[in-house]
Structure 1
């Protein structure tokens, strides 16, 4: 599963894409993100949208927890699960800026990026706020805003390296709008692989850039 990605999309670029975007992310530079780290997302706020930094990893289903510690779930596939159903309405949907993502391979990671360097990509994400859990034993219980993103069957480019899944990637304004606001019956149709021609292997030094 994808547990490493990069984003180089600037705050100014995101404000141009979403003119009414409220920026709550502080100083946000290019970054590479791993599970349980803080990463930027675009989420609902009042009557509009906001850019915020949120912890990567949604709450785990209770059956998956062997101790009090919850490391979080980074990728979500089964939208029929009662555990995820509570967060599938528009209010909990978000967009996760991504420039490239990686899948583990022997000796490191294989990175994937857009065939068109000018293409803007977002993962289709879900988020929750003010969740109480023990993410790290040394920290004890914390209250966090959390997110994860959807996965789907892989396209041919990813399947050669990861045969089970790839992230759900949205590249068009109509897709972004549908994911953020459409009824679930419509939005769930976006849980599909990116076209093969839209994704390429990226030569990388490990940063994904």
Structure 2
């Protein structure tokens, strides 16, 4: 499960990949380590306009006392299905690298992954308004071979640029069809 990623791209680099959006700030500081419970940049539709915002990572769970949910795997869950069915609750979570851990407890080390074909990409995200503001999580799916060599259980859903609109506006079936392993040939482990 991915619980650490980086977002180092500038607003200009984001515009080149995601197109025009509201909320483009003069500076978006590089984030070398984004962990759960931290705010992170997201792009979501607000009144029909793609808008840059910062949202806390981790959606409060349906059962009290549990930790916030950062990764969504069960797309048919009664908790997630309403969010997946509502395009207004979907978002793009920009990232430049994501991390999985390897090794035994006490000797674990970080392994970073990135795409080879673009400087910034997007996870398929969901967001939810709560009493203490908006919170987000992103979808995971079966790991491809590159990620699976380190973390065989799952990997984030990485969206292609030409699928951003389908993710943000499509119906439930169109959106969930995007939850698939990413092409190994366009990913690499950073050295």
TM-score of the superposition, structure 1-length normalised?
0.83
Gaps of 5+ in 2: none
Is the contact made by 2:3 and 2:35 (CA closer than 8 Å) also made in structure 1?
A: yes
2:71 paired with 1:79: no
User: Kindly tell me: are residues 158 and 16 of structure 1, through their superposed partners in 2, closer, same or farther at Cα, counting changes over 3 Å?
Assistant: closer
Which residue of the partner structure matches residue 21 of structure 1?
A: 21
Is the contact made by 2:123 and 2:156 (CA closer than 8 Å) also made in structure 1?
A: yes
Tell me by how many angstroms 1:114 deviates: 1.1
Which deviations, in whole Å up to 9, do the C-alpha atoms of 1:36-56 show, x marking residues without a partner? 000000011112111001000
Alignment of 1:1-209 (within 5 A): 1-23=1-23, 27-31=27-31, 32-62=33-63, 65=64, 67=65, 70-88=66-84, 89-106=86-103, 107-116=108-117, 118-129=118-129, 131-132=130-131, 143-172=132-161, 174-203=162-191
Count of aligned residue pairs for this structure pair = 185
Tell me by how many angstroms 1:20 deviates: 4.1
Give the match's secondary structure for 1:128. strand
Distance 1:19 1:195 in 2: 23
User: Kindly tell me: are residues 121 and 176 of structure 1, through their superposed partners in 2, closer, same or farther at Cα, counting changes over 3 Å?
Assistant: same
Distance 1:154 1:185 in 2: 21
Tell me by how many angstroms 1:10 deviates: 1.1
Give the match's secondary structure for 1:157. helix
Which deviations, in whole Å up to 9, do the C-alpha atoms of 1:155-186 show, x marking residues without a partner? 001111111100000132x2111100111111
Tell me by how many angstroms 1:85 deviates: 1.4
Distance 1:123 1:82 in 2: 22
Distance 1:33 1:190 in 2: 24
Gaps of 5+ in 1: 133-142, 204-209
Is the contact made by 2:6 and 2:98 (CA closer than 8 Å) also made in structure 1?
A: yes
RMSD: 1.7
Distance 2:25 2:60 in 1: 22
User: Kindly tell me: are residues 146 and 26 of structure 1, through their superposed partners in 2, closer, same or farther at Cα, counting changes over 3 Å?
Assistant: farther
